[in-house]
Amino acid sequence: MKATLEHQNQKLVIDLANPLDISLPIENTAKNPIAWYLSQPEITPVVMGDFVGSVRSGKSATNFNNILFNPHGHGTHTECLGHITQNFYSINQTLKKFVFVAELISITPELQNRDYVLTANQIQKALNGKKPEALIIRTLPNLSEKKHKNYSNTNPPYLSEAAAQYIKEINVSHLLIDLPSVDKEKDNGALVAHKAFWNLTNVIAVNSDARWDCTITELIFVSNQIPDGTYVLNLQIASFENDASPSKPILYQIL
């Protein structure tokens, strides 16, 4: 199955038959990734008197579960600038387009003052002049343990402020990364990479030139079987009126 997408006066033929899922699921097992000092998510049958929402229990004809999770700490999620503003802004209201041309790059973070950091120079070199709508960053080494890791209190790698500034300057609208945050785990609320990417200079009364329609997607996982290069990205979110939603970014190869 193929489809044609028009982009910058070019027709791109994409392979719809072989989608490449770069999301991490939410599950109530020890396999679920965790960040921000949370416990595991909970997926449990509804219990009301004698009713148990589980076919296996013999007390229901359907499976009927409650789910308790945090989008920021329990799997792949996409967030809008409302993540760090005083006033409420929803990802469901700010993300209105879902298909983009994306560039996948792989970077080994540099050691700087005991932290591992993704720098502007690294990103600029990896992009080699390209200025994509969406940028997907896979950090190296790309170990399978990322899919199940508890990131809390581990000081994971993060973007330098200059790197986020560079990504903004080349007009990347959607940034995807395989880390729990673009910012340092413990930075006393500075959030310099988030602010630089969204061009936020005032989180109380949001400045008029803030990047309202831009998103950050964190905790993705890109298999080593997917080579660096250009893809078409379908950035799928659930319709949550919240600053962030669990998401399912899918890549399609360009033929």
Query: What CATH number should be reported for the domain whose range is 2-24+71-253?
Result: 3.50.30.50
pTM: 0.96
Average of per-residue pLDDT across 143-151: 96
| pLDDT tens, position by position, 225-241 | 999 999 999 999 999 99
Which residue ranges make up each domain of the chain?
2-24+71-253
The CA-atom distances, in angstroms, between 68 and each of 41, 44, 60, 89, 136 are 6, 9, 21, 22, 28
**What is the 8-class DSSP label of residue 224?**
T
Which tens digit of pLDDT belongs to each residue from 19-34?
A: 999 999 999 999 999 9
